[in-house]
Amino acid sequence: MSFSRTLARRAAWASSQPRHQLSLPPLLLQGAVTARLEPLRGAARLASVAAPRLIGSTGRRLLSVTAARGSKSEAALHARRSMLYVPGSSEKMIKKSQQSEADCIIFDLEDSVAPHRKGAARELVLHALDAAPRPGPELAVRINPPSGDRSLSNDDLDIILPSQQLETIVVPKVEHEDDIFFILDKARHLRSDHRQLSLVLSVESAASLLRMPRIIEAIESENKKDQEPPHAVAAALLFASEDYCAATGIIRTKERRELLFPRAQMATVAKAYGLQAIDMVCIDFKDVTNLQEEALEGRHLGYDGKQAIHPAQVTDIQRAYSPSEKDILKAARIKAAYEKSVRDNKGAVGLKEGEGIIMIDAPMLKQADAILTKAHAGNLPIPDVSQEFAS
């Protein structure tokens, strides 16, 4: 589709939207209702959806992950506790990033690269992708926004898509599904023999946030048209706080109260569609206390990870978004107790906790599954508690 036709479609859509009200899209409300009813589906359904499999001599359990709206591909299931931006025009920083403990390295071709350095940065990033030692962090590239100068993002994709080590594309300023269709079309032509790409969609305006459910639905529908597995899938939503504040007139403070609503809403949209939610950047990388508070708050809001702009932020972010040993042990015991009750054909499930007994219900089992999934994705040890529930 030509750029002019894309603009025409966008203009037609914008003119048809009501301007006198601010309401949640019907799809978001539908997703919220579905999410609220999900725990009532019954524990039997959860057993078939999230049954673990035993691998290796250590008896480590891996949990299959099923999203709220259907199972996601393997490409969408990376741990993304920390996503570290690396300027694509800095050879020094690119080399240094190879030592990072971040879950994901994002080679940036957008904001951190001056216009006259775009071409050189693309070549540097391509070399960085192909030379990156494997195994290692997830390799991502933030391209220039397709919603802006399409020629820039087109050149970005022409260079990076053929790389066999590219795993993820971060798409800035996603305002319309055509922004993503453009990438899907390029991926079909340039990645026919490569593994599936993950797409991280960046929310940078109020219009993007309110339209995001429709954008996600459109991406899913577009991918269903292919007779083969899709070349790229939506894997996560990312909250770009500085651009969001600039677009909405919000004044950001360290207390973050002014951003609580959009952050919570974006996390809700992500979860309704089975996507990860990545929280905003802590712009003062020297303020460790503020970073820790932001990260903990993000986890409480349901976020799966956080963006980082400096390597020094990675450790605190990883810690905040990792389950504790105590949480992992409890989750493993809940899962094992539930499995034993299934084997014994028992309806109610009780688990001894200290001096008392807690009853395990469907929401508690889902929370345990989520903790164990995050522990596995983050390469954290999961204790084998099978002997405790063997009899």
Tell me what pLDDT residue 224 has: 92
pLDDT in tens, 8-35: 555 555 445 443 333 334 433 344 333 4
Amino acid at 298: G
Q: What does 30-67 look like in DSSP terms, one character per residue?
A: HHHHHHHHGGGG-HHHHHHHS-EEEETTTTEEEE---B
Q: Which of 156, 158, 361, 369 is catalytic?
A: 361
pLDDT in tens, 77-101: 689 999 999 999 999 999 999 889 9
Please list, in sequence order, all residues whose beta carbon lies within 8 angstroms of the beta carbon of residue 268, skipping any fewer than 6 positions away: 28, 32, 302
Tell me what pLDDT residue 387 has: 82
Q: Look up the pTM and report it.
A: 0.76
Domain positions in the chain: 44-63+324-389, 66-320
Tokens 């993007």, residue?
208
- Indicate the fold that domain 66-320 takes in CATH: TIM Barrel (3.20.20)
Q: Give the C-alpha separation, 349 to 334, whole Å.
A: 9
| Residue 198 reports pLDDT greater than 50 | yes
Tokens 């006259």, residue?
116
120: nearest Cα among 157, 166, 83, 159: 159
Q: Give the C-alpha separation, 35 to 245, whole Å.
A: 29
Q: What percent of the chain has pLDDT over 70?
A: 80
pLDDT in tens, 69-83: 434 445 446 899 999
Phi, psi of 113 (to 5 degrees): -115, 125
pLDDT in tens, 235-289: 999 999 999 999 999 999 999 999 999 999 999 999 999 999 999 999 998 999 9
What pLDDT band is residue 46 in, cutting at 50, 70 and 90? very low
Tell me what pLDDT residue 337 has: 84
Q: Give the C-alpha separation, 373 to 188, whole Å.
A: 31
Tokens 């980082």, residue?
308
Active site residue 361: yes
Amino acid at 124: L
| Residue 138 reports pLDDT greater than 90 | yes
What pLDDT band is residue 227 in, cutting at 50, 70 and 90? confident
**Mean of pLDDT values over 59-65:** 30
